[in-house]
Amino acid sequence: MYGLEGHAPLGACLSRVELRDAHGFIAFCLDECWVMLENFTQLEHCGVRIGGVGPDEEIHQLDLLKLRSLALEWRQSAAEGIGMLFDSIRAPSLTDLDLRGNLPFRERIVGERWPHLRMFLERNRPPLKVLELAKTDCTLLDLTGCLAALSVNGPASLTHLTFSRCLLDSECIQKLWGDEDSPKVLNAIRTLMKVESFGIEDCEVYALDDLVCSLCVDHLLWPVARSLIASDHLQDLKCSLMELFIVRSGSLTDESQRYLEDSPVIVEYEEGCPSPISSDEDEDDD
């Protein structure tokens, strides 16, 4: 495992590992990643790239109680096993989560939502401040459930939410403010209204104008929040959005651009089309 065997005695004191490189040459099998995390339980930051599933082995719970920052990248060949890794990690102190990789094709075929990120957040209830998703088909995620999990235990702490080279469609966006009477939607809105910086870069967004209007109207993060506040569900909650980045994720109509200009939010808008999202294993490095 790239010489990690010789560092095993450091497991009790090692606080940071970065096992990625700019060219994508370094890649662990899932079982190697699990062994590494099992030995280095005092980690505060971990960055790792996973290139394959490896031998079939039962993965036990990994207690990473000091882990604050986790960055995971994976190739398509490892997508089937990423859910198992998420299901094994206990990290209640996590504040930064950076995920880069696409989800299993199985979810696309049967139309299921990939549940592992939502379950991870529900189980750990971390004080997450930063969530970054890259190279992910977000239509396969229960985004509403993921965001709602961050408000179940009290006020959400999420301040930065970024999508890079992701796929977002109108259904995915609309579900974020769907049923006003749903506790899940209420908690998702509580989380979203705490977000200070919202970024979309090189994404395929099949409702970009709707998303912009939703973000900026009346300086509330989501339109439904107006009726929710009026009905005392979120009476004392104000929108925290300060920065909005939309970069190479399609084109906005003139009306939407005027929306942005009139908004009190600081906006960076760069018109253009995103680069294609490839499922090739070797297309995982920027």
Average pLDDT for 217-231: 46
Model-level pTM?
Answer: 0.84
Give the C-alpha distances (Å, rounded to integers) separating 89 from 85, 114, 186, 217: 7, 17, 27, 39
Residue 9 has pLDDT above 50, yes or no: yes
Residues 34, 41 contacting (CB under 8 angstroms): no
Q: At what angle do helices 254-262 and 208-216 cross, to 10 degrees?
A: 20
Q: List, for residues 244-261, the tens digit of each pLDDT value.
A: 888 988 888 887 787 777
Residue 120 has pLDDT above 90, yes or no: yes
Higher pLDDT, 198 or 173: 198
- Predicted pLDDT at 35: 83
Phi, psi of 243 (to 5 degrees): -135, 135
Residues 203, 163 contacting (CB under 8 angstroms): yes
Q: Per mean pLDDT, which of 78-87, 179-188, 217-226 is the most reliable?
A: 78-87
Q: List, for residues 57-116, the tens digit of each pLDDT value.
A: 566 889 999 999 999 999 888 888 888 889 999 999 999 999 999 888 665 555 568 899
